[in-house]
Structure 1
């Protein structure tokens, strides 16, 4: 099938879906019996404003393009997992093409405290009433499938029930229609409904057309935190993101959610279950356990087992001058996701280490450097090394409190996605470091009250500062 045939087939699927909706309406699937419907008390608009970066996370079991995406689909449990990271939950309710239904919507609405968006192909006001009956606080209307008169009928019905409307567009003409129709929340769908290709640059090219008093949502195509940052820092920033298929197919959902919202953050030198639990709940992706005898944050293998068993973080073991056998024992006992090597090991050592580690366990090589300008000259000691961790020169294996002079560094044009950065990182400088888009940010003494004891307040402030947009940073400075 060539490109034109593919586009025609996809267009016919959309046409088929709308035709099926009309059949369902004729069959009374969406019949409204006239019973009283309580108005919504949860505002999608307000929740997106209050909960940056405004994630609308989607419960979706299947789609025409991808087929079944979630074999054991449990929308209630999925929504509860989403809730700490979301401004709202989206639920697919089309049954024939997306394996959804209104019961899924009701389950989610009953389970969560945040607004719930009903995502369907709305072409009749009865659908809006039924959506509200089953707990929807907002609906999505696609301008590509309704004319202005029908849009107004749907929007008026939603308004009468205090429901918000997410108005979906894909081209400049639809944006102008949405503005003329008084849309308060406009979503740019990055997926071409004819080719099914997704390109987030569509939002970049159209964002300036959205008025400042309208919330701008970017829909589809997001899998990396760097993409979220790019959109938040446009001349006309994106206010929220509708994310579905990427999460529905994820094997490591909580880890994916944290990295999407905050980027990858490691808290190193964890010495207690209490600190591990606080780190996990705050948004940390990686936890660091130090096995170096020189460190005041050293933990025994037995203590490490207790800590690792308390929360579902990706755990990293930090080692200095340790034998292959000792590292192997720790890795297999703790099921570590990575080992961090804090000495000038040889290529032969790294290769031998790779051979004895499970495939899931990465090797991180630590390099202590005086000047970040030397980054462009850094190379891996061995192909067996997965990532470089850079930190200022210091005596200890982490936790020295030394920092790079971030004010005088220009690294913006360099790809640092495979580099981990450590050294004196704390709530006050996290925004400076964040703009360089390192692969992982490694924090230790900057969130402690004393060596080995983490501060819940400092960790919370660190993650709060990570969410600040450029506009919010300017406001804080003023």
Structure 2
């Protein structure tokens, strides 16, 4: 699996880097740096939103920030940007609404570099995050020495003791950590360790499968006083809007920006989608074509009619079969944030409704009739 390979290679690289520059020397380089920019404060602030009349407004707006990622390649997708200029890319991000910049520094699988991080830090005024597979405190000091304001910590490759220790070391360096989780168990571990910024990555780093419903599943696991960042599978305004309804503070986006022919336009589209308050439900869907079309059109919710007299009625068993083949199912390579499923019932008993909820996997129930409380 890629994750084990990456961690193994990271440990080998660390041995060589420690020979070239000892831990004590790296600590001195880290301490010599100017104070880091505050990522937590940046993501907690109310983002200034352009209004239709050309002014700005910070009131009554869902404030979802964008962490734009400088990313040349990935193990699952290969080379993303053949003509890669990390500094030019970072400048575009900073000029067009990014609140922070994430920089891949892993050299073998992502073709990243600490040199990229330093060069970017020198030309932007927003926080810069080192995104790498950090397993040793040496890498924390190294990140600070090269100019990082914050670092990524991945729960999947750290035990509880390691996670707490690395958070403590980063805190001593006045750096914040984006602690990445992929499950409810990891989310609870991150919270218990004291993580203030929690990233929910919908892509499993071992299987690379996408779980488009993960943010919804973890929504109530993470306390309201933590900053939540949505990661992976954010390619369109519709994707951003669906994730934003779970009270995320920010979205981390790399691939769809790096590959875009119009990066400023793509950034604008994502930010507008994430900060749009209206939600859309398309109801009465009966075929796979309907489900796919509504999903691709950007629907936030898909309505399924479980009222037999309606000409739009669909059998629960049929829905289950359709969902297994629909493009928003959780399958390898699926990159789309999924809409929620809403079951529409009329005068049905609670036992029947609960049975359909379990059978189909409904997220919401819509009642039309005289159902008891």
What TM-score results when the alignment is normalised by the length of structure 2? Answer: 0.66
Give the count of matched residue pairs: 265
Q: C-alpha displacement at 1:412, in angstroms?
A: 4.4
Matches of 2:208 and 2:295, distance apart in 1: 31
Assess if the C-alpha contact under 8 Å between 1:18 and 1:121 holds in 2.
yes
- 1:306-337, CA deviations, whole angstroms, 9 ceiling, x for partnerless residues? xxxxxxxxxxxxxxxxxxxxxxxxxxxxxxxx
Assess if the C-alpha contact under 8 Å between 2:200 and 2:231 holds in 1.
yes
Task: Quote the residue 1:64 is aligned against.
Answer: 75
Matches of 1:155 and 1:120, distance apart in 2: 15
Map residues 17-416 of structure 1 onto 2, 5 A cutoff: 17-28=6-17, 31-32=22-23, 33=25, 34-35=28-29, 36-50=31-45, 51=47, 52-83=63-94, 84-234=96-246, 237-263=247-273, 412-413=281-282
Q: C-alpha displacement at 1:153, in angstroms?
A: 2.1
Structure with the bigger RCO (C-alpha within 8 Å, sep 6+) is 2
Cα–Cα, structure 1 residues 263 and 175, in superposed 2: closer, same or farther, change >3 Å? closer
Q: C-alpha displacement at 1:195, in angstroms?
A: 2.1
Matches of 1:165 and 1:108, distance apart in 2: 19
Matches of 1:40 and 1:150, distance apart in 2: 25
Assess if the C-alpha contact under 8 Å between 1:25 and 1:31 holds in 2.
no
Matches of 1:416 and 1:193, distance apart in 2: 25
Indicate the SS of the match to 1:85. coil
Assess if the C-alpha contact under 8 Å between 1:54 and 1:241 holds in 2.
yes
Indicate the SS of the match to 1:141. strand
Q: C-alpha displacement at 1:179, in angstroms?
A: 1.0
Greater Rg by CA: 1
Matches of 1:22 and 1:47, distance apart in 2: 32
* Unmatched segments (≥5 aa) in structure 2: 48-62, 284-293, 302-373
Indicate the SS of the match to 1:230. helix
Q: C-alpha displacement at 1:101, in angstroms?
A: 0.9
Cα–Cα, structure 1 residues 155 and 226, in superposed 2: closer, same or farther, change >3 Å? same
Cα–Cα, structure 1 residues 416 and 218, in superposed 2: closer, same or farther, change >3 Å? closer
Cα–Cα, structure 1 residues 212 and 39, in superposed 2: closer, same or farther, change >3 Å? farther
* Unmatched segments (≥5 aa) in structure 1: 1-10, 265-409, 420-434, 437-478
Q: C-alpha displacement at 1:106, in angstroms?
A: 0.4
Task: Quote the residue 1:475 is aligned against.
Answer: none
